[in-house]
Chain A
Amino acid sequence: MTELNSKIPKGQLAEKWNNYKAHTNLVNPANKRRLEVIVVGTGLAGASAAASLAELGFKVKNYCYQDSPRRAHSIAAQGGINAAKNYQNDGDSVYRLFYDTIKGGDYRSREANVYRLAEVSNAIIDQCVAQGVPFAREYGGLLDNRSFGGAQVSRTFYARGQTGQQLLLGAYSALSRQVKKGNVELFTRHEMLDVVLVEGRARGIIVRDMISGAIERHAAHAVVLATGGYGNVFFLSTNAMGSNATAVWKAYKRGAFFGNPSFTQIHPTCIPVHGDFQSKLTLMSESLRNDGRIWVPKNKEDAEKIRHGKLQPTQLAEEDRDYYLERRYPAFGNLVPRDVASRAAKERCDAGYGVGETGLAVYLDFSDSISRLGKNVIEARYGNLFQMYEKIVDENPYKTPMMIYPAVHYTMGGLWVDYELMTTVPGLFAIGEANFSDHGANRLGASALMQGLADGYFVLPYTIQNYLSDQIRVPNFSPDLPEFLRTEAEAKARLQKLMDVKGNQTVDSFHKRLGHFMWEYVGMGRNAEGLKKAITEIAKLREEFWKDVKIPGELNEINPELEKAGRVADFLELGELMARDALDRKESCGGHFREEYQTPEGEALRDDQNLMFVSAWEFTGENKEPIMNKEPLDYEFVEVKQRNYK
């Protein structure tokens, strides 16, 4: 097993980041101009990092698969972004945000990283406001906040239901300014296919120009992956259609360890699945749980009648409704963390109390809030979400309660990184959802945007300099080195191999079958038998894919089927690793719920004695078993407890 060095600075929790900044190596301005950095991804993490590095003077190349950096998946985030400003005077502080995040993550994240995240959270809000992000305000002209799950304070900043959009457009504008200045070169509609290592260090990437199909070699002194999460392994998720794991997966196969691959977040409030043709799931922001109450019928007979359309939910008397979250968790009620809310919904539906045609839905009811606050207030808060719901479901949520069900939303797992956000490959960094850090086994709402921007604006621009400071004498790399040519040839051969299969089944049909295995066996409830089954079934499916996938068109043109095939081929490998990790972790924690390990009340049962570690998986070769390395988690400052939201 490899010894993992997380490089956590010494000292008191509150002093670590300052100590680090005070003593880290920096690169002087004249040298910065000579150093090139590749940033893959233009989401919150990628765009903020690319812009900030360019402002410092580095030469940056920035990539995305969309036609514009502004369309990165971050654009879709709805609810908000956390910060410890304590503007509401309700007792918030850096420590409390840190503590909530550690606890919310079920004690499976690093204290030092999470503290730093909470510490820089306030600067993010300052930065965004200065960029012109139009956050919601009070009548007095100051910033407004809302509350989110897993917290008892209001610390979430928001811009209607479009917070991610506004934050991303802020980062995109900063990026655009640097493009204009010539400090960032932008490569849109370019998909990264592999990372190139020279003498053990990351020195460049191989990309495909998605318009011409040309394969290109790009070199730099360091490579930063900000390529987002891998929730699309499940086929149906709230992620954008193109969200993929290719960049992180290729990095894994080149030696970067993969941290906690099985830690997936299932979001409790999504629009339920409605048919086989469905292509993606739509999230209804968690902020709705501020004003909506979640319930199912108290009696199975009523649930049955509702499912068959013989009874309307509005006809059901108050005493015949089971507000199960308020019943089970009186202290947090409808605002329990996501993993808890999702499992509780599944439990009710599995027990036969679910509603909707399929029985896989629960109600999110706004009637109380509407009568208390008025329809106008609810409309001002959630108008666009209600409209989105009505467009999809064809029902008016002001009149009938919304139907919701959990769906795959976010991946806490990702490339293992140290305190400097560097992977186990020197010179290869991972930021945003692409890394595993900060959220442990469960992420709190409004914390992904915070983490993406913390990494990109305020952490990486410091930590990468510690690496680059000893690279100043290294001349620019030629992309004609044999290592580049070899990796390019491998990427080309793989694409050719895909085209040459000339089978009979479409890419999507494979992706749907993979998604089915993942949801059934590696989803909300996992057990040893199911996970073993998933491992063998996924391996079989992978074999079938490489024998029978059908990809029309040519390599040298816009070819969406080829793009999808490359991504699904990677998902077919990653899915198996997720199942392995889940099988290996014989406890329940956060989003990882092993049915064998629960309390008599059905709550997650951790094994802190034996399993308080990060699993960091190491690739050992095609069709060989990967090695699991452990990074032990020391809780030096926080007392580890059973999570309790009662």
Chain B
Amino acid sequence: MNLTLKIWRQKNATSKGKFVTYKVNDISPNSSFLEMMDILNESIVLKGEDPVAFDHDCREGICGACSMYINGRPHGPDKAITTCQLHMRRFKDGETIVIEPWRARPFPVLKDLIVDRTSFDKIIQAGGYISINTGGIPDANAIPIPKTDADLSMDAASCIGCGACVAACKNASAMLFVSAKVSQFALLPQGKIEAAERVHNMVAEMDRLGFGNCTNTGACEAECPKEISISNIARMNREFLCSKIGAPKVKEESGGF
């Protein structure tokens, strides 16, 4: 296949970026999208120029590193996959493909297609855990958990933290990501104990970091590579409401041990 690529190039966080057009020829339809990018980069390097920088690691749809906005859609045209799982057989010979980074204020571009997603880590640090230490834990089977709850919790826990939901949302809302974590724990007895504080702290952190509001357009769910359900957002809203009504003691976690 022969293709034309219009790729966003930006030297670093402070410089202005622009689209640059490249041609790639003789691409096998069986190669993956990122292998096509490798072939492009190999040719750019041989010309002595700077190759296109992009995030990637596992190349099997699980680490959440890859993050390209392809022809106007996060992770490209296919449903329920990441950029690294996209294959060239999905495109037509002669097609022009536009490739951009995630565009959202809380995800500043660092170079070309690489963005900074540390704000997601900060949200988890604000409360995305069950507060237990290592050791001294009762037997794993001491608390039976209904299979349906465990399965729903697992559905929510499948989030890979890629940020496509934020990139897809016109408000750059992180609600799908946050609600997935909140739901995973809220559905399990172990997680219920701190549920109110958790949702309160995570939402506060999300707001502080400049993510936008959710206006229920559902774009996040449609583009999520792991098909995280928007019903998690409804669950989180309920949890959040309860957290207000119940007026939990939101204690500041202090340093030290």
Contact = CB atoms under 8 A, between A and B. Distances in A.
- Which residue among A134, A141, A162 has the maximum number of chain B CB atoms within 10 Å of its CB? A134
B85 A388 contact: yes
A508 B41 CA distance: 11
A316 interface: no
A188 interface: yes
B246 interface: no
Contact of A127 (B44, B129, B137): B137
B255 A182 contact: yes
Interface string B123-155: 011101111111101111101111100110110
A379 to B, nearest CB: 14
B190 interface: yes
Contacts of B135: 123, 127, 457-458
Interface in B12-41: 12, 28, 30-32, 34-35, 38-39
A560 B112 CA distance: 12
Nearest to B48: A552
B30 A75 contact: no
A136 B137 contact: no
Interface residues of A, number: 88
A4 to B, nearest CB: 30
B38 A275 contact: no
B42 A508 contact: yes
B85 A137 contact: no
Interface in A171-230: 172-174, 176-177, 179-183, 186, 188, 211
B124 A172 contact: yes
B53 A391 contact: no
A424 interface: no
Interface in B46-68: 46, 48-51, 53, 55-65
A318 interface: no
B188 A141 contact: no
Nearest to A157: B140
A146 to B, nearest CB: 15
B139 A126 contact: yes
B22 to A, nearest CB: 15
Given A139-B147, A508-B42, A134 B137 contact: no
Nearest to B13: A211
Interface in A102-138: 123, 125-132, 134-138
Interface residue tally of chain B, by bracket?
Answer: 35 or more
A73 B117 contact: no
A125 B184 CA distance: 18
B89 interface: yes
A58 to B, nearest CB: 9
Interface string A260-299: 0000000000000011011110110000000000000000
Contacts of A274: 30
B85 A173 contact: no
Contact of B184 (A134, A182, A394, A506): A134
Given A132-B184, A177-B125, A457-B134, A75 B62 contact: yes
B240 to A, nearest CB: 19
A9 interface: no
Interface string B243-257: 000000000011111
A552 B51 contact: yes
Nearest to B63: A71
Interface string A141-185: 111000000000000000110100110010011101101111100
A275 B114 CA distance: 28
A94 to B, nearest CB: 15
Contact of A277 (B39, B81, B153): B39
Given A141-B146, A275-B30, A282-B60, A130 B130 contact: yes
A558 interface: yes
A468 to B, nearest CB: 15
Contact of B257 (A55, A125, A139): A55
A561 B44 CA distance: 12
Contacts of A129: 137, 140, 143, 190
A509 B39 CA distance: 11
B129 A173 contact: yes
A33 B256 contact: yes
Given A67-B117, A279-B34, A134 B150 contact: yes
Contact of B150 (A137, A169, A508, A550): A137
A85 B30 CA distance: 44
A627 interface: no
B45 A506 contact: yes
A131 B132 contact: yes
B102 to A, nearest CB: 12
A70 B62 CA distance: 10
B6 interface: no
A155 to B, nearest CB: 13
B141 A73 contact: no
B156 to A, nearest CB: 8
B125 A277 contact: no
B65 A142 contact: no
A137 B158 CA distance: 16
Contact of A173 (B48, B128, B153): B128
B118 interface: yes
A538 B116 CA distance: 38
B139 A240 contact: no
Given A134-B188, A506-B42, A68 B117 contact: yes
Contacts of B144: 140-142
B170 interface: no
A392 interface: yes
B49 A552 contact: yes
Contacts of A137: 145-147, 150
- Which residue among A57, A129, A186 has the maximum number of chain B CB atoms within 10 Å of its CB? A129
B185 interface: yes
B153 A240 contact: no
Contacts of A176: 121, 124-125, 128-129
Contact of B59 (A132, A179, A240): A240
Contacts of B46: 504, 506, 550
B114 A558 contact: yes
Nearest to A507: B45
Contact of A560 (B53, B124, B154, B191): B53
A557 interface: yes
Contacts of B44: 552
A66 B185 CA distance: 26
Contact of A136 (B118, B143, B150, B254): B150
B87 A211 contact: no
A602 interface: no
A458 B137 CA distance: 12
Contacts of B77: none
Contacts of A141: 144-147
A493 interface: no
Given A71-B57, A277-B39, A552-B49, A134 B154 contact: yes
Interface of B: 11-12, 28, 30-32, 34-35, 38-39, 42, 44-46, 48-51, 53, 55-65, 81, 85, 87, 89, 110-111, 114, 116-118, 120-121, 124-126, 128-135, 137-141, 143-147, 150-151, 153-154, 157-158, 160-161, 184-185, 188, 190-191, 253-257
Given A132-B153, A141-B145, A277-B39, 9 more contacts: A71-B64, A73-B57, A75-B63, A129-B140, A132-B190, A134-B151, A143-B141, A181-B254, A183-B257
Q: What 4 pairs between A and B have smallest CB-CB spacing?
A: A141-B144, A173-B129, A182-B255, A57-B257
Interface of A: 29, 32-33, 48, 51-52, 54-57, 66-71, 73, 75-76, 85, 87, 123, 125-132, 134-143, 159-160, 162, 165-166, 169, 172-174, 176-177, 179-183, 186, 188, 211, 240-242, 274-275, 277-280, 282-283, 388, 391-392, 394, 457-458, 461, 504, 506, 508-509, 550, 552-553, 557-558, 560-561
8 contacts: A71-B63, A71-B64, A128-B140, A130-B137, A166-B154, A169-B157, A211-B110, A392-B85
